[in-house]
Structure 1
Amino acid sequence: MSSSFGSLNTALTGLYANRRGLDVSGQNIANANTQGYSRQRVNMQSVVGGSSAAMYARSDGLGDGVEVTSVQRLRNEFLEERGRTEHASSSYLTNQAAIYNSIEDVFGEPGDTALQAQFHDMWGGWADVANAPNDPAARSALLQQSATVVDGLHNAYGSLASHWKDLRGEAAAFSAEVNQTATAIADLNKSIVLAKASGATVNELEDQRDLHVMHLAEMVGATASKRPNGAMDVFVGGANLVSEFNTRTVEVNGAARLEDQAGDPVQLTWKDNGTTATSGGRMGAMIDALSTVIPGMATKLDDVAKKLADTVNAVHTTAYGLDGVGGRPFFSGDSASTIAVALDMDKPEQVGAAPTPGTFDGSVADLLSRTGERTDGPDKAYQNMIADLGVASQTSGRRADIQSNIALQIDSAREAEAGVNLDEEMTNLLTFQRGYEAASRVLTTIDSMLDQLINRTGLVGR
């Protein structure tokens, strides 16, 4: 049977439990706008009375109050893993779309000063030479228009190479950030495991760790799994980046210039064994752009330049200039970075327009003026390249928008589980406040009863 003094302890446990509830609600309210914070809940259970009573002792069946068993962190692990997966995909597609947009900006099509317009002006220059084969001014204008096309090809390739180099440096910086974040997760793992072993609450530490893991998912497509002791392992491409308290290091290896990419492709690798680390997220988009997208566009641009040089030279070498000399190539070089006008810019008479020497015949120039209409000419190759780029960019942008909406939906579900609802917390505050006041009243009542029993019993008849 419980004693009067035992009732004091029962009321006292009520005070402790409700005060802990007030503390937790206050913590939730204080961190309502803290990024990555998970709301917490006090779990209470009644203390069973008489559990350690002597053999012949009897219990009245009442308990001995209440105790706080835990402060639970309200976070759904399934939704967290789903969130990491969707954010990794969203980050990959968003950055891929941004890379395609930047490549489109390099060419600036359609536009009055873009390469397609420059091609058109150059073929028009050949038409002017065909119409006035004895006019040196028309030939000078043609040379300038051709030089403009050459400059356009050089600038486009230079912009691609510059963008490639900037992206290469950015990828290297991101790999260092991945390593720093992995180290932070390993340190948090150690703190969490030690704190759990001592019985401490680690909710805030786990919130910090989840933020780091989400950051890794967005950067490199990382996934994670928890161990029974509370530590979390992190994986990149199925291989361990963080294993309990230990980490591995990733680095970006490969070519330092776009020109060297074909023989030494850029890769994200494990530093300890040099094998490829299959990445997703933002770095996955970067590595794909460095190894495939930008080199692919540069190769197509080289093909356009080569086709331009080969097509024009094949016809121009059959023609004669005003100086009576024939067989000259009009362009030199066979790539976007090396193509140049092979003729002397100050000698327009070198431009070949006639099929026979010593005549004012513009039939060869007329033939070259129609090069832009050829289905196998440089214009068509360039148009196909721009069309493919536009389709890839549009597709990537649409996929990024769709994936972004999916990620937002998952974030809403995660927020519903882990986010702080101020209205709910205000209700909890009132509940714990009333519970604390009621426990205080019970304590006061028992104190008054004991005062009556101790100080006033036995005074009758005195």
Structure 2
Amino acid sequence: MGSSFGGLNTALTSLYAQRRGLDVTGQNIANANTEGYTRQRVDMQAQVGSLSTAMYARTDGLGTGVAVSAVQRLRDEYLEHRGRAEHGASAYLASQSASYTAIEDAFAEPSDTALAAQLRDMWGGWNDVANNPQLAAPRSALIQQSATVADQLNAAQDSLARQWSQGRTQMSAYVDDVNVTAKSVAQLNDSIIMANASGLTVNELEDRRDLLAMKLAQLTGATTAKRENGGMDVFIGGSTLVTGKTTREVAFVGASRLLDQAADPVGLVWKEDASQKIQAGGTMGAAVDTMTAIIPGLSADLDAVADNLINSVNAKHRDGFSVDGSTGLDFFGRNPDGSVTVLIKDPDKVAVSATAGTLDNSVADAIADIGDAADGPDRQYQSMVGQLGVSSQGTTRRAEIQAVVTEQVDAAREGESGVNLDEEMTNLLTYQRGYEAASRVLTTIDSMLDQLINRTGLVGR
């Protein structure tokens, strides 16, 4: 049968367990607003009395109290993996949408001062020249309007180049951030693995690691996998970034200017082997796609519009005759750096006639008609801007839908792992009452033992 003093130990184990429950509940309440914190729960189990018997030793089969078997971290791994995937997708679309918005701002269409309006004004200038070929004022105004068109084309290209350069600079900062974060994950892996081997609770360390893993998912679309020893492996594009306490470093290589992008494409690679390109997602994946496809594509399309303008105007202008009898002159050209410029500076050099010594205005009239041509630069530019608008709108809508999905997943994650203060207050009262009851049991047994030890057998002395 059980010892007379066994009840003291039973009550004492309850005191320890209820106090642990109070400590964990207090930790939950203290971190209710801590980012990345996962609520914890004390798992208790009844202690079983010894089942071994001997000739002169018997047991009544009663338990010996309660023990805290674990402090459980209430986090759903499926929801965590889903959350990282959705955050990575959301970061990718949000970054790409922001890039499209910046590009649209550069073109500023539709607007009374944007390129489309400037082209219309220029063709109107050619009409004015055709209507008044003998006057110098319309030709002077035409040269100025054409220079404005050239400046607008150059400004749009410069804006695309600046945005590309800004992305290049930002990628360097992202790369440093990823490498530092990966090392932090590896250090936490080392601490968690050693703590698990020693039987220690590492819930707060795992919270910090999950927060860093989410950051990597947003930056690169990283995925994770846990090992039996508690370590976490992190992957980017299917390749390992972190395994245990070992990390690999990423680097961003390639051209430093948009003009050199075609010959030396930029990309994310592993530092120890630059030949291995990394197919990243998240913010960095969007930035790479913007720098390798979106901006270069738009720059090429804009360059094609400029070529169309230059070639179509020059083809007709070269065959015409100016007021002073000049012929064979190009109206538009390119500077050594590739920018568009107006070659005609003298109004008397503007070709207006098909034959020398006449003012038949046929050349000026033909050039003015380029603005309405189905294959002219205006239609080509409108098609480019229209496609840009469709792509931008589509990306923005996808980003908005993805943001809603991400919020829903986050709500599910928060419902599983977030701290509910009402629930914690209930747990607080539960453990408080349990502690008080265990204290009463301990006091009662102490009183009984006092009676037995100090007052039994005093009669007749």
TM-score band by shorter chain is over 0.9
Q: 1:268 to 1:366 in 2, by over 3 A?
A: same
- Which aligned pairs between 1:229-248 and structure 2 lie closer than 5 A? 229-248=229-248
2:224 matched to which residue of 1?
Answer: 224
The answer on whether the counterparts of 2:335 and 2:341 sit within 8 Å (CA) in structure 1 is no
Give 1:371 deviation, angstroms.
1.1
The answer on whether the counterparts of 1:323 and 1:349 sit within 8 Å (CA) in structure 2 is yes
Q: 1:173 to 1:102 in 2, by over 3 A?
A: same
Q: 1:99 to 1:372 in 2, by over 3 A?
A: same
SS of residue in 2 equivalent to 1:41? strand
SS of residue in 2 equivalent to 1:353? strand
Give 1:56 deviation, angstroms.
5.3
Q: Distance in 2 between matches of 1:55 and 1:291?
A: 84
1:196 matched to which residue of 2?
Answer: 196
What TM-score do you get using the length of structure 2 for normalisation? 0.98
2:7 matched to which residue of 1?
Answer: 7
SS of residue in 2 equivalent to 1:32? coil
Q: Is residue 19 from structure 1 mapped to residue 15 from structure 2 by the alignment? A: no
Cα distance per residue 1:267-305 (max 9 Å; x no partner): 000011111011000000000001000000000000000
- Which aligned pairs between 1:268-287 and structure 2 lie closer than 5 A? 268-274=268-274, 275-287=276-288
2:293 matched to which residue of 1?
Answer: 292
Q: What amino acid does structure 2 have at the position aligned with 1:302? A: D
Q: Distance in 1 between matches of 2:399 and 2:64?
A: 59
Q: Is residue 215 from structure 1 mapped to residue 215 from structure 2 by the alignment? A: yes
Q: Is residue 417 from structure 1 mapped to residue 416 from structure 2 by the alignment? A: yes
Q: 1:165 to 1:104 in 2, by over 3 A?
A: same
1:187 matched to which residue of 2?
Answer: 187
1:58 matched to which residue of 2?
Answer: 58
Give 1:339 deviation, angstroms.
1.6
User: What are structure 1's unaligned runs of at least 5 residues?
Assistant: none
Q: Distance in 1 between matches of 2:9 and 2:172?
A: 62
2:315 matched to which residue of 1?
Answer: 314
Q: 1:285 to 1:397 in 2, by over 3 A?
A: same
Give 1:25 deviation, angstroms.
0.2
- Which aligned pairs between 1:46-85 and structure 2 lie closer than 5 A? 46-54=46-54, 57-85=57-85
Q: What amino acid does structure 1 have at the position aligned with 2:238? A: G
Q: Distance in 2 between matches of 1:56 and 1:73?
A: 45
1:341 matched to which residue of 2?
Answer: 342
2:123 matched to which residue of 1?
Answer: 123
Q: What amino acid does structure 2 have at the position aligned with 1:282? A: T
1:443 matched to which residue of 2?
Answer: 442
Cα distance per residue 1:167-218 (max 9 Å; x no partner): 0110111011000000000000000011111111000000000000000000
Cα distance per residue 1:204-261 (max 9 Å; x no partner): 0000000000000000000000000000000000000001110000010001000000
Q: 1:55 to 1:272 in 2, by over 3 A?
A: farther
Give 1:399 deviation, angstroms.
0.3
- Which aligned pairs between 1:169-180 and structure 2 lie closer than 5 A? 169-180=169-180
Q: 1:74 to 1:87 in 2, by over 3 A?
A: same
Cα distance per residue 1:22-46 (max 9 Å; x no partner): 0000000000000000000000000
2:104 matched to which residue of 1?
Answer: 104
The answer on whether the counterparts of 2:254 and 2:265 sit within 8 Å (CA) in structure 1 is yes
1:405 matched to which residue of 2?
Answer: 404
2:454 matched to which residue of 1?
Answer: 455
Q: 1:394 to 1:335 in 2, by over 3 A?
A: farther
The answer on whether the counterparts of 1:97 and 1:393 sit within 8 Å (CA) in structure 2 is yes
Task: Give the number of aligned pairs.
Answer: 460
Q: What amino acid does structure 2 have at the position aligned with 1:85? A: A
Q: 1:336 to 1:295 in 2, by over 3 A?
A: farther
SS of residue in 1 equivalent to 2:399? helix
Give 1:53 deviation, angstroms.
4.8
Give 1:426 deviation, angstroms.
0.3
Give 1:54 deviation, angstroms.
3.9
Q: What amino acid does structure 1 have at the position aligned with 2:271? A: K
SS of residue in 1 equivalent to 2:144? helix
- Which aligned pairs between 1:38-49 and structure 2 lie closer than 5 A? 38-49=38-49
The answer on whether the counterparts of 2:175 and 2:251 sit within 8 Å (CA) in structure 1 is yes
The answer on whether the counterparts of 2:51 and 2:61 sit within 8 Å (CA) in structure 1 is no
Report the more deviating stretch, 121-130 or 1-10: 1-10
Q: Distance in 2 between matches of 1:407 and 1:56?
A: 67
2:427 matched to which residue of 1?
Answer: 428
SS of residue in 1 equivalent to 2:457? coil
The answer on whether the counterparts of 2:51 and 2:59 sit within 8 Å (CA) in structure 1 is no
Give 1:335 deviation, angstroms.
10
Report the more deviating stretch, 377-386 or 364-373: 364-373
Q: What amino acid does structure 1 have at the position aligned with 2:392? A: S
SS of residue in 2 equivalent to 1:460? coil
2:254 matched to which residue of 1?
Answer: 254
What TM-score do you get using the length of structure 1 for normalisation? 0.98
1:353 matched to which residue of 2?
Answer: 352
Give 1:337 deviation, angstroms.
4.0
User: What are structure 2's unaligned runs of at least 5 residues?
Assistant: none
Q: Distance in 1 between matches of 2:243 and 2:391?
A: 38
Cα distance per residue 1:319-368 (max 9 Å; x no partner): 1111011111111129994221111x2x1000000111111221211111
Q: What amino acid does structure 2 have at the position aligned with 1:321? A: S
The answer on whether the counterparts of 1:85 and 1:217 sit within 8 Å (CA) in structure 2 is yes
Q: Distance in 1 between matches of 2:393 and 2:66?
A: 62
SS of residue in 2 equivalent to 1:234? strand
Structure 1 residue runs of 4 or more that deviate by more than 2 Å after TM superposition: 51-57, 333-338
Q: What amino acid does structure 2 have at the position aligned with 1:361? A: D
SS of residue in 2 equivalent to 1:451? helix
Q: Is residue 328 from structure 1 mapped to residue 332 from structure 2 by the alignment? A: no
The answer on whether the counterparts of 1:306 and 1:335 sit within 8 Å (CA) in structure 2 is no
2:143 matched to which residue of 1?
Answer: 143
The answer on whether the counterparts of 1:182 and 1:241 sit within 8 Å (CA) in structure 2 is yes
Q: Distance in 2 between matches of 1:267 and 1:53?
A: 72
Cα distance per residue 1:86-128 (max 9 Å; x no partner): 1100000010110001000000000010000000000000000
The answer on whether the counterparts of 2:258 and 2:296 sit within 8 Å (CA) in structure 1 is yes
Q: What amino acid does structure 1 have at the position aligned with 2:283? A: R
Q: Distance in 2 between matches of 1:417 and 1:56?
A: 52
Q: Is residue 385 from structure 1 mapped to residue 384 from structure 2 by the alignment? A: yes
Q: 1:12 to 1:230 in 2, by over 3 A?
A: same
SS of residue in 2 equivalent to 1:370? helix
SS of residue in 1 equivalent to 2:133? coil
Give 1:57 deviation, angstroms.
2.5
Q: Distance in 1 between matches of 2:434 and 2:53?
A: 29
